[in-house]
Structure 1
């Protein structure tokens, strides 16, 4: 899951989202650049195209007249007899083509169709000229214009298709000095990236799970909308001037051109994505907060349960130790009592030091087992023996702290220990397992079990390692196989 708990991670997420959003809103620019590149690679034969165009224009009538431009920008070419028809040779060629077409269609051309005036609908004393043609060719009122005509529609006058000459001179459209497309594309990318990053930052700045509410989210949405809207008039666009074009801002255009629908569409995309991004960001924060709280509660629960289980060890061991010490005092065995007190001091110190630790190394646990065993040897001199064989390579491996204490205590507690029947407790490693075993010689009068020993140990192992251990209980021997944990830094 995406971590949103640092400013750096949020900033990185905002930058990546702004890049994606910028590419989305400028997708049309990317497509146009690809199309232009393909057109250039295609290497279109301009000469062939020009020849085909001239061939088509041979069959079209022309008109020569004086241009009159009205206040609304439209114009008319006016002349008493300005229509110029194709030459007789071209008209005859057109007639032959018409005959050929009809023969292919299985039609007969009537004699009167050959003789009718096909140019009757073209005859007029005025020709319509639209604003775009006047603008592109920079035509002026009073110019003498010779141009190609478009076929008239219904009862309307013919319209000018393209001017060929002005005042007796060949005319060409004005060449616009438009910005480089790559330059225009870069400007658009930079602007929309900055806009997107600012909008996304507004939705996520210092926003955490504690203050994520519907009211605060709505307030941020309003602020983001106001900021995005204010950027509209600074949006870079191409301003098509009279005969040149340049990159400028919308607010520098004429008021009639302030509403640019393509720009409005891009802003709508930015707004929608920004609001959705803020909502998703808040949902992730809320989900992360729940996970952190659940993990915290789980940790507290584990620690509480562990402390409770550990608390059961210390009193149990404490009472057994006092009983043993009391016995030595009654026997007035001062040397053994002092030795017992020294070993008892060491074992208590180990328990206190490791009481808050969940894991201990095998080496530490074995040292504790030796000291703990000495406490019992004071009571069972020459009757109790500990056979310890540990692979030194496993000394750094770990296991739950105070694992061996209840195992040694149970072995002593539940078995008969005499000179004729001594007790040997074996502590050894087999592979990565720690094996603790002892022969079984149950006491005639068994001591009552508190249920604390093995049950407590099994619970601690499950809490700390997530694993349990294996018990092999036969008629003659009791064995426990404990899986050691590999150290984390190995």
Structure 2
């Protein structure tokens, strides 16, 4: 652990090599000053010898306490165990300093007496207390760094978990939209089979296949450019025109400058699909859908001509779009229904409009 940089960083939060070297030197000088004040009372050579004893005790203290600190971090790694771990660590610091002072002083006294040098070592509270305080303050730096590193890691892991949840929700909503499209397309196919020839039905299936090929080629994306969404929507309208002919009219007003804006994929197609599904489309009452991009919004509008016979509905379309926008950004679609006109405004997004929890996902 002492010479393994990776292990030091793992359990201490940083490479503490130079922190240990400087810390030991400072603590040893403080200890010598409190016990002997060697460098002011004795010649330099004697002072260095006396300081060497303090240095030895400090090294023993430092690495015993440091080893216990690492052991406690392994045993109590969770935030909920911090109080217990820090209390045990505090008691360990006090016990270690007192033990090393007592045993080391006893051994030093006997060694010096063996060489004929009279020496007596007694533990004095007024001296040992400042050493304890300095040691605790030094170890508190370890704890502060450790807490900061763990907190930073915990926040990062929480953000990553949120990103996974958001991505999962977006995937579910995107996959929900595709069966909704298929459901309504099958209803349309049924009507064609009832009202048209088999050749018309076969042609519709072929074009439906082309549309689904477009969906697969667009990939599993949560945002797409308005340019790509328009291509898909226009392909979808081309299919519907096979059924309704000139009774279905689209009025496109999309400036070139808006084509690179971002939009939730299949959102425009879902709106067109709902308009076709819930309104009368006939020669006497043609359905005219206006699609316009202005003021950073894509506006889809049509006159309400409700069908007398309700078609089975999954009630997925609008809710799906609203939920996807809620996950992706802080901007929400606006829906207006005054009984005469049905208007939906989809926000046109930029990359910077995305929520932080979503912005770093790999879409």
By the TM > 0.5 criterion, same fold?
Answer: yes
Residue number among 203, 222, 230 corresponding to 2:69 in the alignment:
203
Structure 2: gaps of 5 or more residues: 1-7, 32-40, 353-358
Change (3 A) 1:362 1:422: same
Shift of 1:408: 0.8
Report the number of matched residues: 326
Residue number among 188, 194, 197 corresponding to 1:332 in the alignment:
197
Change (3 A) 1:18 1:456: same
Shift of 1:442: 2.8
Does residue 430 (structure 1) correspond to residue 301 (structure 2)? The answer is no
2:349 alignment counterpart:
485
Shift of 1:259: 5.5
CA contact 1:360–1:400 (8 Å) conserved in 2: yes
Cα distance in 2, alignment partners of residues 195 and 229 from structure 1: 10
The Cα offsets for residues 67-98 of structure 1, whole Å up to 9 and x where unpaired, read as xxxxxxxxxxxxxxxxxxxxxxxxxxxxxxxx
1:237-276 alignment to 2 at 5 Å?
Answer: 256=119, 264-265=128-129, 267-273=131-137, 276=140
Shift of 1:388: 3.1
Shift of 1:277: 5.4
The Cα offsets for residues 106-134 of structure 1, whole Å up to 9 and x where unpaired, read as xxxxxxxxxxxxxxxxxxxxxxxxxxxxx
Does residue 390 (structure 1) correspond to residue 219 (structure 2)? The answer is no
CA contact 1:343–1:375 (8 Å) conserved in 2: yes
Residue number among 454, 463, 487 corresponding to 2:318 in the alignment:
454
The Cα offsets for residues 348-383 of structure 1, whole Å up to 9 and x where unpaired, read as 244456674322232222221122222211111122
CA contact 2:291–2:301 (8 Å) conserved in 1: yes
Cα distance in 1, alignment partners of residues 292 and 271 from structure 2: 13
Higher strand share goes to which structure?
Answer: 1
Shift of 1:447: 3.4
Taking structure 2 as the reference length, what is the TM-score of the superposition? 0.64
Shift of 1:313: 2.5
2:9 alignment counterpart:
7
Shift of 1:412: 0.8
Change (3 A) 1:211 1:373: same
The Cα offsets for residues 419-475 of structure 1, whole Å up to 9 and x where unpaired, read as 344323233321322222223333344435443221232122212324312223345
1:357 alignment counterpart:
221
Cα distance in 2, alignment partners of residues 277 and 435 from structure 1: 58
Does residue 408 (structure 1) correspond to residue 272 (structure 2)? The answer is yes
Change (3 A) 1:421 1:26: farther
CA contact 1:203–1:220 (8 Å) conserved in 2: no
Higher helix share goes to which structure?
Answer: 2
Change (3 A) 1:219 1:428: same
Residue number among 332, 345, 348 corresponding to 2:209 in the alignment:
345
Cα distance in 2, alignment partners of residues 457 and 419 from structure 1: 31
2:283 alignment counterpart:
419
Change (3 A) 1:329 1:306: same
Change (3 A) 1:201 1:313: same
1:136 alignment counterpart:
none
1:373 alignment counterpart:
237
Change (3 A) 1:259 1:313: same
1:102 alignment counterpart:
none
The Cα offsets for residues 15-69 of structure 1, whole Å up to 9 and x where unpaired, read as 797699679859979xxxxxxxxxxxxxxxxxxxxxxxxxxxxxxxxxxxxxxxx
1:140-289 alignment to 2 at 5 Å?
Answer: 177-178=43-44, 203-204=69-70, 207=74, 209=77, 217=85, 221=89, 256=119, 264-265=128-129, 267-273=131-137, 276=140
1:316 alignment counterpart:
180
2:328 alignment counterpart:
464
SS in 2 for 1:380: helix
1:77 alignment counterpart:
none
